[in-house]
């Protein structure tokens, strides 16, 4: 598997120049990405990974690559379990890295929560432009498929978003903000004659956001009666575990409500569909993932062990398992 492309952001969400840490001017982002990124012609699937709380840049890259390596091993061991990938699954990864470390305290938790918001806040953070240009770049550079609606089919590549913890919150906020700027992203309604921008799937492990986030914080991620188009046309899949202390205890103290990573998503413009995380040798039926929002209960597996029981975050980062890669791979399979 090829090495990933690494995109580093500073505290304000600005793309930085590798080696110097200097911020790239907003009007030079597209040019910078065109020099730094080159999507391999062999790639069938593009995964954009955004890490979460208390994660170093090196760990972020290692985690993303481990997930994809496990996915490749699962498919190689049992290709019949993923018939949608019979024509090939050759993933390429873009890792978006941002400063998410703080003291493991309530103040530290709030600091990173506020930073995730500030990076996409109107008039302040440039993360929407950075991710908008990144996603728009990926879309424009994909081989133009012949199939309609979803960018899938002969000669086309699939786009999957993957996040963890505050990375999921940051990703949803930045994508929503970027979608409000059509010149940055080429998203459009189905009635628009232009080729619509689509995200084929989004998977967020242990999201650090209130349970009503998709009703209160991210209301425009999905279609509604007065809005035909939306930036996420594939499913948004969210794992949760009651052993996740970061989005349970700490989130409850910081935001007066449990987080999605602890209890799953609740109120939303579209009803979340509940299901269970499956073992790596059990196929996901299409109907369990074919919904706008899917709550995946992973409490039977994401428990963290003895060390996690003593950690302030509990099982918050206990998603790095083959079963998680199986879920990621199943989404790629069902996207076909």
Query: What does the pLDDT look like over 227-284, one tens digit per residue?
Result: 556 677 689 999 999 999 888 877 877 788 889 999 999 977 788 999 999 999 999 9
Query: 């967020």: which residue's tokens?
Result: 204
Q: Which residues contact 147 (CB under 8 A, 6 or more apart)?
A: 153, 154, 156
Q: Which residues contact 299 (CB under 8 A, 6 or more apart)?
A: 240, 241, 242, 243
Across the beta sheet with 201-205, the strand order is 5-8, 91-97, 45-50, 158-164, 201-205, 236-240, 293-297, 273-276
Query: 């040019």: which residue's tokens?
Result: 31
Residues 28-76 pLDDT 10s:
877 888 788 777 888 999 899 999 988 999 999 999 999 999 999 999 9
Enter the pTM of the model.
0.89
Mean pLDDT rounded to a whole number for the chain: 82
Which range, of 55-64, 206-215, 222-231, averages the lowest pLDDT?
222-231
Residues 283-334 pLDDT 10s:
999 999 999 899 999 999 999 876 656 676 788 999 999 999 999 999 999 9
Cα-flanking dihedrals φ and ψ of residue 129, to 5°?
-70, -40
Q: Are 220 and 176 in contact (CB under 8 A)?
A: yes
- Name the residue among 161, 236, 166 with its Cα closest to residue 206: 166
**Total count of domains within the chain:** 1
Q: Which residues contact 30 (CB under 8 A, 6 or more apart)?
A: 133, 136, 137
Q: Beta partners for 203? A: 162, 237
Whether 155 has a pLDDT exceeding 80, the answer reads: no
Q: Are 82 and 31 in contact (CB under 8 A)?
A: no
Query: 């290692």: which residue's tokens?
Result: 62
Annotate the chain with three-state secondary structure.
Answer: CCCCEEEEECCCCCEECCCCCCECCHHHHHHHHHHHCCCCCCCCEEEEEECCCCCCHHHHHHHHHHHHHHHHHHHHHCHHHCHHHCCCCCEEEEEEECCCCCCCCHHHHHHHHHHHHHCCCCCCCCHHHHHHHHHHHHHHHCCCCCCCCCCCCCCCCEEEEEEECHHHHHHHHHHHHHHCCCCCCCCCCCCCCCCCCCCCEEEEECCCCECCHHHHCCCCCCCECCECCCCCCCCEEEEECCCECHHHHHHHHHHCCCEHHHHCCCCCCCCCEEEECCCCCCCCCHHHHCCCEEEEECCCCCCCHHHHHHCCCECCCCCCCHHHHHHHHHHHHHCC
- Domain of 310 in residue numbering reads as 5-334
């Amino acid at each position: 598997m090829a090495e990933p492309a690494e995109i580093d952001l500073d505290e304000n969400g600005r793309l930085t120049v590798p080696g110097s840490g200097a911020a790239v001017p907003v009007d030079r982002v597209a040019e910078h990405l065109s020099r730094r990124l080159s999507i391999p012609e062999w790639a069938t699937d593009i995964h954009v990974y955004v890490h979460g709380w208390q994660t170093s840049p090196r760990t972020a890259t290692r985690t993303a690559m481990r997930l994809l390596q496990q996915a490749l091993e699962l498919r190689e061991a049992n290709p019949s379990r993923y018939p949608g990938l019979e024509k090939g699954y050759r993933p390429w990864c873009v890792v978006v890295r941002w400063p998410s470390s703080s003291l493991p305290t309530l103040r530290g938790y709030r600091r990173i929560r506020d930073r995730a918001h500030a990076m996409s806040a109107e008039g302040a953070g440039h993360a929407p432009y950075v991710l908008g240009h990144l996603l728009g770049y990926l879309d424009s550079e994909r081989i133009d498929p012949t199939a309609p609606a979803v960018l899938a089919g002969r000669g086309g590549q699939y786009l999957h978003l993957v996040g963890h913890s505050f990375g999921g919150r940051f990703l949803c906020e930045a994508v929503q903000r970027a979608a409000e700027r059509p010149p940055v992203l080429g998203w459009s309604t189905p009635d628009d004659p232009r080729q619509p921008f689509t995200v084929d799937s989004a998977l967020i492990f242990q999201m650090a956001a209130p349970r009503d986030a998709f009703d209160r914080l991210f209301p425009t991620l999905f279609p509604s009666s007065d809005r035909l188009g939306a930036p996420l046309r594939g499913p948004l899949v969210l794992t949760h575990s009651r052993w996740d202390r970061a989005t349970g205890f700490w989130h409850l103290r910081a935001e007066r409500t449990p987080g999605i990573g602890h209890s799953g998503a609740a109120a939303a413009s579209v009803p979340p569909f509940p299901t269970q995380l499956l073992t790596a040798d059990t196929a996901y039926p299409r109907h369990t993932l074919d919904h706008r929002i899917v709550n995946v209960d992973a409490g039977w597996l994401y428990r963290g062990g003895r060390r996690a029981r003593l950690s302030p975050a509990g099982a918050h980062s206990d998603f790095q398992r083959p079963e998680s890669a199986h879920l990621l791979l199943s989404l790629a399979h069902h996207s076909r």
